[in-house]
Structure 1
Amino acid sequence: MPCCSSARPVDAPVGRRRAMLALAAVLLLATGPVSAALESPAADPAQLALVRRSEGLFLSARLPLEISPTVEEVLRKGVPLHFLWKADLIQSRWYWLDKTVASVARTVRLAYQPLTRRWRLSYASGTPGAAGLQYGLHQNFDSLADALLSAGHVSNWKLIDAARWSGAGEQRVEFSFALDLTQLPRPFQLGLFNQSSWNISLQKTLDVPDQISNEAEPALPDSRSEDDA
């Protein structure tokens, strides 16, 4: 009689999915009902400034980002975070709906590298959902604190080029910053949208300056000297 065959091994992809589900369940339980996972920039006043120069319109910002041990554990397990920056230049029109003159976005990806025990930031123009999104700039940091400091900082971000912008009329910039939970593996997304500590977002409206400035960079309140992101 033929002998009984041994049980079939679990496929590697299935095993990885099960491991991810188990890890997600453990981390969700570890957070508790309302544990602080990532500090919202709104908890500490964000520093944003616009400057209008002959070359165009530029934005500089410094957003305070703090991370909890729970989220740090997620990062150390190889799950990256994606921070989305977006700015819309809006022109007010009394006779019709307001006009979007320009819209720009950038993505900052934060990941941990276990082999080197360093933190890596990757920068790209656009959003993760955009086709062909390419990260053209990378930075490595020895500490998570330094990586978060850079992730929440942008200097001289060009919102629109002068050649495409008349600058006439009443205009404003609607700025937003958010942690994109949709970029997390699906098992990690379960229940996170109902936890306010994970719903990180900041929205600000800035008036466009009337005058052209000769400053090389907008002055941020309580600014400190640091490398540009």
Structure 2
Amino acid sequence: MRDLAELDDRVTHCAACPRLVEWRERVAVEKRAAFRDETYWGRPVPGFGPPDAAIAIVGLAPAAHGANRTGRMFTGDRSGDVLYQALHDVGLASQPRSLRIGDGLSLRGTRITAPVRCAPPANKPTPGERDTCRPWLARELLLLRSTVRVVLVLGGFGWQAVLPVLGAAAWRVPSPRPKFGHAARATLPATDGGPDLHLLGCYHVSQQNTFTGRLTPAMLREVLEEAKHLAALA
């Protein structure tokens, strides 16, 4: 895959994990009552953002009635509402809500992706599904190599999934490995002579975290502002 456009197209045709294929397609047929008149995406979801992004935001996986419905990462559910509002607040998104493909939204210097591209049952991919999907994220980050300076990971699952990818790409993961936590930060030295990478952690924008106040809008904005600063997008 020579560029991100080709990668994104090929991602949408992946059928490597039978359990995920069955689930994403069944959800797209059965639907949720509130969306019964909509046509669900029902396929793997590609990353979203410009091909020269300086910040890569890594989540977990598409939500069954969110990105699996709309075809865009973190779009169509309350988790996405929180994330895109914060991105807009700090100047990284052109509008505060992401509704659907073609709604005019654009991201500034930021790309949103995930280690698993299909909606998993109960939002829990298996370790095998995570590992099978890993080459997509690995290639995506390599294609961003010339511009990416910060990887911001939402949640512990994404943190554990992305570390092997970074280590096999252009950066050296310290030993012992950095531990996940909100506002966790580590610098990964480059192994290819290019710029080092800043790795940041943030609690996931799940409803469980945002409804309980474990992750507040202010906390999310603070981490995004730090990512902007480290990526020289201020």
TM-score category, normalised to shorter length:
under 0.3
The higher-RCO structure (CA 8 Å, 6+ apart) is: 1
1 or 2, which has the higher helix percentage?
2
**Taking structure 1 as the reference length, what is the TM-score of the superposition?**
0.25
1 or 2, which has the higher strand percentage?
1
